Copies of this chain bind each other. A is one copy, B any other.
């Protein structure tokens, strides 16, 4: 992990300030690290806008096939929104100059832009594996829900914290969590009570798919898994991401129809042939860039 942090910023991503974007080791795997450890990786507006830009760039970068997302430092993935920054934010102040309807219009634009930044993770064509460790509150859950695969450490402290600051979570948690886990009673319990939950509970209800003993182990596992996925056909993997997200949001018959149209182009790529012939030759297949 320490190694990760010493890696140079990836070419083409050097302008980003609040995130380390580095090669993770395995070919085609990029590591994005929230880099504000002194403030527990808490987010302010410029940070989430940058996060959105990074994932939009990764989405069409042919040198990227899988992304690992984690938070710098030992204290946590992120403590969520930087309350100090938020409370001095004009958008959220009830400015005397605006009546309620006008303020509402401003808020809609503000929330939409914020949502779009986080949704960029889901819309990124490449799979994103998030590693949650230690303090992972509020926005941490919004971000994790937008990622594809969630791993956590044994010591993780998770909470849907928003009701404690007087609002219903609006950056994605409430929209995605009910479809990410298999216990709607639990979803309501943690979202309404803001209580913390740990690794065991997270795994039991289906929020994470693996629990690792430490941040180092979790990051290693995430990178290993990302490497495994990055070695597969990118046509197959990226199609799988798209089709699973589409399936979550549509009826089975709609999803089957969309799948048919999607694969009518994808099956004409060279990847099936490349995969099959590598398999026959007991070699690792090599796939063209995508």
Q: Which residues of A approach B to under 8 Å, CB–CB?
A: 60, 83, 87, 92, 94, 98-105, 107-109, 111-112, 115, 119, 122, 125, 127, 148-150, 162-170, 172, 174-189, 191-195, 205-210, 225, 228-229, 232-233, 235-244, 247-253, 255-256, 258-276, 279, 285, 287-290
List B contacts of A94 (CB < 8 A).
Answer: 268
CB pair B279–A165 under 8 Å, yes or no, is yes
CB distance from A165 to the nearest CB of B (A): 5
Closest residue of chain B to A111 (Cβ to Cβ) is B260
CB pair A268–B107 under 8 Å, yes or no, is yes
Give Cα A109–Cα B57 distance, bound, in whole angstroms.
Answer: 13
List B contacts of A274 (CB < 8 A).
Answer: 166
Give Cα A147–Cα B164 distance, bound, in whole angstroms.
Answer: 22
Instruction: State which of B185, B229, B265 has its C-beta within 8 Å of the C-beta of A268.
Output: B265
Q: Sort A-B residue pairs by CB-CB distance and give the 4 closest, nearest first.
A: A182-B182, A101-B269, A183-B206, A168-B239
Instruction: State which of B109, B167, B251 has its C-beta within 8 Å of the C-beta of A267.
Output: B167
User: When A276-B87, A288-B99 are in contact, do A127 and B192 touch as well, CB less than 8 Å?
Assistant: yes
